[in-house]
Copies of this chain bind each other. A is one copy, B any other.
Amino acid sequence: MYKAPVEDILFTLKHVAGLDAALADGAFGDLGEDIVDAVMIEAGRFASDEIAPLAAIGDIQGAKLVDGAVKTPDGWRDLYRNWAAGGWNSLTAAEEFGGQGLPHMLHIAAMEMWNAGAMAFALGPMLTMGAVDALEKHGSDDLKAIYLQKMISGEWTGTMNLTEPHAGSDLGVLKSRAERRDDGSYRIFGQKIFITWGEHDFTDNIVHLVLARLSDAPEGTRGISLFLVPKFLVNADGSLGARNDLFCHALEHKLGIHASPTCTMIYGDGHFGAEKGAIGYLIGEENRGLNCMFTMMNNARLAVGVQGVAMADAATQKAIAFARERTQGKAPGWEGKGMSPIIEHPDIARTLLTMKALTQGARAIAYICAYAVDKARHLEGDEVRFWADRSSLLTPIAKSFGTDAGVDVASMGVQVHGGMGFIEETGAARLLRDARIAPIYEGTNGIQAVDLVTRKLPIGNGDHVRGFIVELAKIAGVVAASNLDGFGNTKDRLNASLRDLETATVWLLERLAAGEMAAALAGATAYQRLFGLTLTGIYLAKGALADAGDDQQPARIALCRFAAENLIGETAALKHSIVYGADSLAAARIALA
């Protein structure tokens, strides 16, 4: 069973992601370490003791659609209500609306633990919080007054309605339509698919954020508006009114996250006998809906990256526990009685260390990205731009590297279990099944790579990413200067990967400058992974260099060295593929004809 690694998480927050310094210099007001520790310990307790025990039954029973209503698995409704009652839905939201106004990095760390407990559960609140973000930033005061407090408390949940059958990665072609009503509201018509937690029995109301197009809107992405469309209309006194003209038509039968209902939503077909058209309220301006949605999506991308970290950590814990218990054969040097625990076999140890290093690397990247989000929120002036740029740059890497790590590590976890890994009761396979969605949704990892190369590298004409690499090189320099034996060849390996990163970055910036998009995009995914691997090496080193006053430093140095000498060497091949592979990719298209 998953046990939230609160100590590791606090260590990464404080000593790798920068929370310690931020607390010391008052960046988060009067927030103190005691509060941080208490929140993380209690969030971890809830994840381990309340959520994790319901993960298996959630997977087995799944969400069921009965007469248009979704029935959640046994115990899940109470779980949600306890969770909301514990105040967990309001960690970072504005205090004005009942939120606790804590830093985003604490929220991200807590989300890791909740997702590791049961990803299908934590996914619902994740979307509510995205909807809250969009509403806080772009909603009118009237809308905020009616909806925000209840969504922040968790009394109502929120959804994101983007995808349609022909509009997934490319939202410009969506067809759902909106008609203006005389009172300033709208009527919404259309079908949305893949709507996560679009219908459920946790709460009395569900607040859908829906993208749709006005009949006189321009074509493409500049003609899309965002609407708030509640399941039940809300009376002036805040009580629930009539059922709105929307319903869940079907649930998808998915590979994983079975307890999370993935809904096909129908808007405006007169299902409830009223005048046709679901009543919706504009968020932001007409035709500017995609901008509002991007607010949600950026934070959601980081949160999805953290889902990957969560699956990776849960899988690693499970595999290590199994490998300590399971005995088979005799490992070299084994002098115990009978068979050795399989953790003693070098191949198993290598797998477990790989899992651990990828998990910690992906976690560090995500938390550092969250730290940048916080800095951009809490600072003023030029620094805001810098930290907003930093979080923009890191978001696609955090999303893709975290979710790839989730799948890869979960798959390694299945492998460590041998035949038992293929048996569902073991639970290792569920982690792989759940993890598999994360590289896909909130923008596939391929889309993240396109975003990284075409939108994030050019920030400040490439100065931002170049400056970042210089920062990273300084950490490698500290390793070199540290004279700590345990690092082995870490310094050389980090520097080699940094050179690969720099060479690939320069090459890609040149392609962009020359307008050679096909060549730049050919290497986008390889570049994204190169970046993630290099950051993994550097951030493990940063953690290993920190004196946390505990006895774990030797283990952290040893894991960093393992990653540097065994995992990050792949950057050389990735760089080569980026710089020399584009021509061969173009030439090989005939093999796909």
Contact = CB atoms under 8 A, between A and B. Distances in A.
A135 to B, nearest CB: 25
Interface stretch (A117-125, A379-387, A552-560): A552-560
Contact of A566 (B345, B569, B585): B585
Interface stretch (A16-24, A388-396, A468-476, A521-529): A521-529
A329 B444 CA distance: 13
Given A169-B328, A446-B348, A592 B440 contact: no
Interface string A310-345: 000000000010000001110111000001000101
Nearest to A166: B327
A550 to B, nearest CB: 13
Contacts of A593: 555
Interface in A438-461: 439-441, 444-446, 449-450
Nearest to A450: B347
Interface string A530-567: 00000000000000000000000011101101101110
A170 B345 CA distance: 13
Interface string A410-450: 01001100110111110001001100110111001110011
A236 interface: no
A27 B588 CA distance: 36
A415 B353 contact: no
B339 A170 contact: yes
A356 interface: yes
**Which 4 residue pairs spanning A and B have beta carbons closest together?**
A569-B573, A332-B517, A562-B588, A255-B429
Given A350-B522, A489-B580, A583-B488, A436 B407 contact: no
Contact of A446 (B332, B351, B423, B440): B351
Contacts of A489: 580
Contacts of A566: 577, 581, 584-585
Given A256-B422, A329-B170, A572-B573, A446 B584 contact: no
A587 interface: yes
A168 interface: yes
A556 to B, nearest CB: 8
B347 A521 contact: yes
Nearest to A320: B592
B521 A419 contact: no
A163 interface: yes
| Interface residue SS majority, chain A | helix
Contact of A424 (B255, B407, B521): B255
A37 interface: no
Interface string A190-222: 000110000000000000000000000000000
Given A347-B525, A580-B565, A353 B170 contact: no
A349 B418 contact: no
A584 B572 contact: no
A437 to B, nearest CB: 5
B561 A587 contact: yes
Contacts of A441: 419
Given A253-B424, A580-B489, A592-B352, A418 B572 contact: no
Contacts of A173: 339
B345 A521 contact: yes
Nearest to A581: B566
A7 interface: no
Interface in A244-262: 252-256
A353 B588 contact: yes
A343 B488 contact: no
Nearest to A593: B555
Interface in A235-286: 252-256
A444 B415 contact: yes
A32 interface: no
Contacts of A327: 166
Contacts of A521: 332, 345-347
A345 B573 contact: no
A415 B404 CA distance: 11
Nearest to A324: B592
A87 interface: no
B580 A562 contact: no
A589 interface: yes
Given A411-B436, A436-B411, A559 B588 contact: yes
Nearest to A490: B584
Contacts of A407: 411
Interface in A345-382: 345-353, 356
Contacts of A450: 347
A514 interface: no
A484 interface: no
Q: Interface centre among A348, A349, A450, A580, by most B CB within 10 Å?
A: A349
B346 A423 contact: no
A339 B174 CA distance: 12
A418 B252 contact: no
Contacts of A570: 570, 573
A449 B345 CA distance: 12
Contacts of A466: none
Contacts of A75: none
A590 interface: yes
B433 A415 contact: no
Nearest to A193: B419
25 contacts: A168-B328, A168-B418, A173-B339, A252-B423, A255-B432, A255-B433, A320-B592, A346-B518, A347-B449, A347-B525, A351-B446, A353-B588, A407-B411, A415-B446, A421-B440, A488-B587, A555-B591, A555-B593, A558-B587, A558-B588, A558-B589, A562-B584, A566-B585, A569-B576, A572-B572
